Amino acid sequence: MNGVAWGGIYALIALGYTMVYGVLKLINFAHGEVYMVGAMTGYYAAHWLGVAGAPSLTGLVLTLGASMIACALLAALIERVAYRPLRSAPRLAPLITAIGVSLLLQNLGQIVFGADPKFFPTLIESRNVFEMGGLSVSNVQLTVLGTALALMAGLELVVMRTRFGRAIRAVSFDAPAAALMGVPVDRVILGTFVVGAMLAAAAGVLVGLTNPKIEPLMGVLPGLKAFVAAVLGGIGNIPGAMVGGILLGVIETLVSGYLSSTYRDAIAFVLLIVILLYRPTGLFGVSQTEKV
């Protein structure tokens, strides 16, 4: 069950990777750090809003909202400064700035937030709501999963039913053609970054609920694994990222439970390699024929 909760978190981060890759063909390596900033601002927001001491649902919603807004602004700033000027540059240039931004946020994070781990305030009183055999489900896990699923459903709605969503799909299908049809490509890309960052921020707050220890380097490994999850589902493919995230969370937990926890981190990458070799475009990917 813990695996499913982690899976929801991976899925939320993976969505940001996959959406940005969809519109820009860019692996946004700074995305894991946005998730870290999400957890950190969640921590400060909870204290500042005074909801840290008194667990309540409104407290959780307020914290989520605050950290999502903060990360949306951050992502807009990153996109504007580090990625947009390189739109016509060689494809590897923005990848390097992405690595640069990632390093910058990690190190700035250590100065601004302090390098020591912090403990995320309890926003929900933990108790087991369901127990059967070896399986126990806590309300925290349910909240995490519920919130993650709600956000994903919201995203699906935005992408499939709104003008903005249609614009995202148009840009990821064929950006120059979309521009010719009057889609404001730059604004759509900015919007994609913002939406992705909001989901990552939510993931940061949710992770604070299940694993309260947060620190400035916490984004590195989950960021990388969420990226694996995105590839697992077929990068650029939104439902694929959701399924890939949850699958990865479950498999990881099963492996650390039944085999050995030292292999927990390895399994994600082994899985990645197997998937890439047998189905390079991911579980839901459509392979593209190369035109000469």
Partner 1 sequence: MSRSGWITVAACALVLLALDVLLPRVLNPYYATIVIRIGIAVIAAVSLQLVNGFTGQFSIGHAGFMAVGAYVSAAFSVYVGAGWLEAFAAVLPGPLARVAYYPMALAAGGVAAAVAGLVVGIPALRLRGDYLAIATLGFAEVIRIAILNVDAVGGARGFSVAAADHPGADLRFEGFGTVYAVALVTIVVISRLVYSSGGLSFRAVREDEVAAASIGVPATRVKVEAFVVASFFAGVAGALFAHSEGYVHTNSFAFLRSFELVVFVVLGGLGSITGAVLAAAVLTAAPELLRGLGEWRMVLYSLLLIVTMLVRPQGLLGTRELGFDWLRRRLG
Positions that interact with partner 1 (CB under 8 A): 21, 25, 27, 29, 82, 85-86, 89-90, 92-93, 95-97, 99-101, 103-104, 106-108, 110-111, 224, 227-228, 231, 235, 262-263, 265-266, 269-270, 272-273, 276-277, 280-281, 290, 292
C-alpha 238/C-alpha 218 separation (Å) is 24
Q: Smaller CB distance to partner 1: residue 17 or 120?
A: 17
Q: Smaller CB distance to partner 1: residue 110 or 122?
A: 110
Half-sphere exposure of residue 291, counting CA atoms within 13 Å on the CB side? 0
Q: What's the min distance (Å) between Cβ of 285 and partner 1? A: 10
Residues with Cβ < 8 Å from 251, sequence gap 6 or more?
3, 267, 271
Q: Smaller CB distance to partner 1: residue 25 or 161?
A: 25
Residues with Cβ < 8 Å from 232, sequence gap 6 or more?
240, 244, 247, 248, 271, 272, 275, 282, 283
Q: What's the min distance (Å) between Cβ of 22 and partner 1? A: 12
Q: Smaller CB distance to partner 1: residue 64 or 78?
A: 78
Q: What's the min distance (Å) between Cβ of 216 and partner 1? A: 11
Residue 22's Cβ-count burial label (10 Å; 0-12, 13-18, 19+) is: buried
Q: Smaller CB distance to partner 1: residue 71 or 224?
A: 224
Q: What's the min distance (Å) between Cβ of 272 and partner 1? A: 4
- What is 236-279 written as a DSSP string? T-HHHHHHHHHHHHHHHHHHHHHT-GGGHHHHHHHHHHHHHHH-
b/e 204-243 (16+ beta carbons within 10 angstroms → b): bbbbbbbebebbbebbbebbbbbbbbbbbbbbbbbbbbbb
Q: What's the min distance (Å) between Cβ of 108 and partner 1? A: 5
Q: What's the min distance (Å) between Cβ of 137 and partner 1? A: 30
Residues with Cβ < 8 Å from 244, sequence gap 6 or more?
10, 11, 14, 228, 229, 230, 231, 232, 233, 234, 282, 283
Q: Smaller CB distance to partner 1: residue 25 or 47?
A: 25
Q: What's the min distance (Å) between Cβ of 227 and partner 1? A: 8
Q: Smaller CB distance to partner 1: residue 107 or 126?
A: 107
Q: Smaller CB distance to partner 1: residue 63 or 102?
A: 102
Q: What's the min distance (Å) between Cβ of 9 and partner 1? A: 20
Beta-strand relationship, 135-138 and 128-132: antiparallel
